[in-house]
Amino acid sequence: MWLKPNARPRSFTATQHYAVERMAFSWHARFRLAPLIALQVRDDYDEGEGSLTVSLLGKVMQRQRGPEVSAGEAMRYLAELPWVPHAMAHNSELRWRELDGGRVEVVAAGLDATAITLEFDSAGDVIRVSSPARMMRDGDVWTATPWGGEFADYRTFGSMRVPGRAEVYWQLPGGRFVYWRGEVTAASALEAPFGRPA
């Protein structure tokens, strides 16, 4: 992960839980700072509310909430549907519209500003997602900014075929800024209903 253009990369490990029947997820990442010290980052979305929390040694260092954060987290869920393929068929909160050129648009019911375009390849795999206007924060200012991600290296984990690698970027005036790049090492469908992990 890169916090800003030309910054040094920060490695991390993370676990993410998704809901299938509704829009909800919880992402818990650890950024190791020293052998026994790690920065903890939580990204959550459920019941229309999103939040980002950063903590160190049990102390909250940063917390983001509000309409821009909630809309951004809803867009993240939609953009990451390739990692939760069951939701494409079973999540009744999703609204779909077919576009041209192997593309479809998905939006959260009642939240038109969350529209995400998914682009498929000839094999039917999602290879790219995008939005022309996700809100990007710079200090206290939020600006609608082109945003997207690319998926590759589809793999089968149990009964699921999902992308093994992905990257996410902002399209800035100076060019594309890739701020997240990751690899999936394990994935599974859980029998228990979604709940934010402790």
Tens of pLDDT, residues 110-167: 888 899 999 999 999 999 999 999 999 988 899 999 999 999 999 999 889 999 999 9
| Beta-carbon contacts of residue 41 (< 8 Å; ≥ 6 apart) | 12, 27, 28, 29, 30, 31, 52, 53, 54
Q: Is residue 118 part of a domain?
A: yes
d(CA 39, CA 83): 25
The whole-number average pLDDT for the span 31-41 is: 92
In a domain, 2, yes or no: no
**Considering the chain, what is the average pLDDT of its residues?**
94
Share of the chain above pLDDT 90, in %: 85
Sheet of 13-18: strand order equals 13-18, 25-34, 37-46, 49-56, 59-64
Question: Domain tally for the chain?
Answer: 1
Range of the domain at 119: 13-183
pTM as predicted: 0.93
Between 192 and 165, the more confident residue is 165
Q: Per the domain annotation, does 195 fall within a domain?
A: no
Write phi, then psi, for 79 (nearest 5 degrees). Answer: -70, -25
198 or 50, greater pLDDT: 50
Q: Average pLDDT of 168-180?
A: 96
